[in-house]
Structures are given as C-alpha cells and as structure tokens.
C-alpha cells in the first residue's frame, strides 16, 4: 500500500512512519508541516496527485490547548478547516483518510466510559476545533480515531517531563481530579495502520490504552519506573494549577467500536507503559517539558 502521513515530524506522526517503515511492502511518504501546509487546498491537492497514496493518516494538528483559548481562529484553521480540505481532496480521489481526534470533544462530566456515539460537548476552544475536524472527516466517509493522554519518545509530553524531574530528584505537584487513559503513541500508531489496512468501516473509534488512572497516579508510576521516590509526587487540583483552558475531569473512552473493525481493544495502559519504558528512558536529556 501507498501511505501519506501528515504531521510526520510530531510525536504520533513519527511513530506512524516508523511503524510503516518496519513493514514489508509499504511505501511511505512522510510530510511535516515544512513539506505540506495542510491549510492550503492547492498544496494538498498537489501532494495527493504527486504521491498517489491509498491512505492518508492525518497527524497534523494544533495541540497547544491553552493557546487555543486566545487563538481559536488559528487553531480552527489547522484542526477544522484543514481537515475539511484533506477530507474533500481524499474523497475526490478515492483515498482513505484516517484522522486523529481527541477526548476534549467531551465535557468530562460522565461517570462511565464515553461510547463512540456519545454526544460531544467540548468545554473549550481546543475541543471545539477538533470537533469541527471530526465532523468534516465523517461527512466525507472517513475514519476518525479519538485518543487521549498521549505520550511517546518524540516531542514534549507528560512522561518525558515527569522523567526529567524524577531523574533530577525534583518534587512535583500533579492533579488528582482528572481521570483518563495514558496512551503510548506507538500503540496508537500501530492501530491507525491496522484500521486502514483491513478496510475498517468509516466512523469513530476510540484509540486509547485500556484501564484508567489519574495524572497523579500516572506520575507516581513514572517516578517509580525511573527509580525515584514516588513520594516526591504530591497531589493538587486543577483549580490550583489555574490553566487557561478547562480540562475534562473524566476522559475515559469506551472501546466497543473496535468490534466493527474485528479488532480487540488496545492493551492496558500499564502493560503499554512497561513496553514503552525502554524507548522513553533514554529521552530525558532531550525533553523540554510540556506537562499537560
């Protein structure tokens, strides 16, 4: 198969490219934002016509949650309008689009895992812009995969920030009032590829590792894995942190949709974290922080 990956220099995009390059018979074109401005319809059309992919995996996104509150039109241009451009261009060429979305499309008031068909109700600008992208992709018969609490070996993320602080023996206050599913980007990358390869029905899928924890609980796991004292992690609340953008208090996503694709849910987050650790432990010197 021929693949085109947008946002290929980011955390998830890099893992999608790596996963595809490890497989025989795959032709992969990896385009970062320097190579393809997904907001530009002409550039998108030219890229599709030049590379003639069977599948586009869209990992390009505005991910600065707090900045989106003040710069929503800019975030919408990437997370919403650009997805419409990709969706329309792919549909016109019979190319499958796999688009990545987020738990932020929900308000976090649930007490049980959100099913794929739960009504979205985003709390802030980031969630609104990602929901616009979802709707654009679905309107043209493509695949939407929501993820949450993503971490990996590339780019700033919660695990790398906690690992840097643990290695330095620093204490850190982490929220106890947000519940979700830590998800290894390499696991999600493999699942995005699997969905496209098997010709999964269009619609929404929830791409998170199973189980649940709090950011506080996850931070203690990271400190313990790094050989640091988990007691250095102390509890705090979201209100005490005072972030500009509201976060969903409950971001646990249900996984019944995988049955439509004849695939099992993704493995438990603790199992994934153990598998990810060898790839994460050596990245601490390169980490720039960026805790969620």
> Which residues are annotated as catalytic?
126
Q: In whole angstroms, give the CA distance from residue 183 to residue 12.
A: 11
Instruction: Compute the half-sphere exposure of residue 239: CA atoms within 13 Å on the CB side of its CA.
Output: 0
Q: In whole angstroms, give the CA distance from residue 193 to residue 65.
A: 26
Residue 215, C-beta contacts closer than 8 angstroms, at least 6 positions apart: 158, 174, 175, 176, 178, 180, 292
Q: Kindly write down the DSSP assignment for every residue of 112-165, as one continuous string.
A: SPBPTTSPP--SSHHHHHHHHHHHHHHHTT-EEEEE-SEE-SSS--HHHHHHHH
Q: Is 261 exposed, middle or buried (0-12, 13-18, 19+ CB in 10 A)?
A: middle
Q: In 10 A of CB 103, how many CB atoms?
A: 26
Q: Is 232 exposed, middle or buried (0-12, 13-18, 19+ CB in 10 A)?
A: middle
DSSP letter at 284 equals G
* Sign of the torsion angle spanned by Cα atoms 98, 189, 161, 113: positive
C-alpha dist (Å) from residue 95 to 102, 123, 219, 242: 23, 33, 40, 43
Q: In whole angstroms, give the CA distance from residue 213 to residue 94.
A: 40
């Amino acid at each position: 198969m021929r693949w085109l990956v947008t946002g290929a220099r980011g955390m998830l995009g890099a893992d999608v490219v790596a996963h595809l390059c490890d497989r025989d018979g795959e032709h992969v074109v990896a385009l970062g934002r320097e190579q393809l401005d997904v907001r530009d319809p002409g550039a998108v059309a030219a890229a599709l016509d030049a590379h003639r992919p069977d599948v586009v995996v869209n990992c390009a996104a505005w991910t600065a949650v707090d900045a989106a509150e003040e710069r929503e039109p800019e975030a919408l241009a990437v997370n919403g309008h650009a997805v419409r451009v990709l969706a329309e261009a792919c549909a016109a060429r019979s190319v499958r689009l796999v688009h990545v979305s987020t738990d932020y499309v929900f308000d976090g008031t649930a007490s049980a895992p959100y099913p794929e068909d739960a009504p979205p109700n985003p709390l802030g600008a980031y969630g609104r812009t990602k929901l616009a992208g979802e709707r654009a992709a679905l309107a043209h018969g493509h695949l939407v995969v929501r993820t949450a609490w993503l971490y990996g070996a590339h780019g700033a993320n919660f695990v790398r920030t906690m690992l840097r602080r643990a290695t330095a023996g620093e204490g850190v206050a982490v929220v106890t009032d947000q519940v979700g599913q830590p998800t290894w980007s390499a696991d999600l990358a493999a699942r995005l590829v699997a969905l496209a390869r098997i010709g999964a029905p269009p619609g929404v899928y929830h791409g998170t590792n199973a189980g649940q924890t709090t950011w506080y609980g996850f931070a203690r796991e990271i400190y313990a894995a790094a050989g640091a004292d988990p007691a250095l992690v102390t509890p705090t609340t979201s209100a005490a942190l005072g972030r500009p953008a509201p976060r969903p208090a409950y971001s646990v996503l249900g996984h019944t949709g995988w049955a439509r694709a004849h695939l099992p849910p993704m493995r438990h987050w603790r199992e994934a974290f153990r598998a990810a650790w060898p790839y994460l432990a050596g990245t601490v010197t390169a980490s720039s922080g960026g805790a969620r």
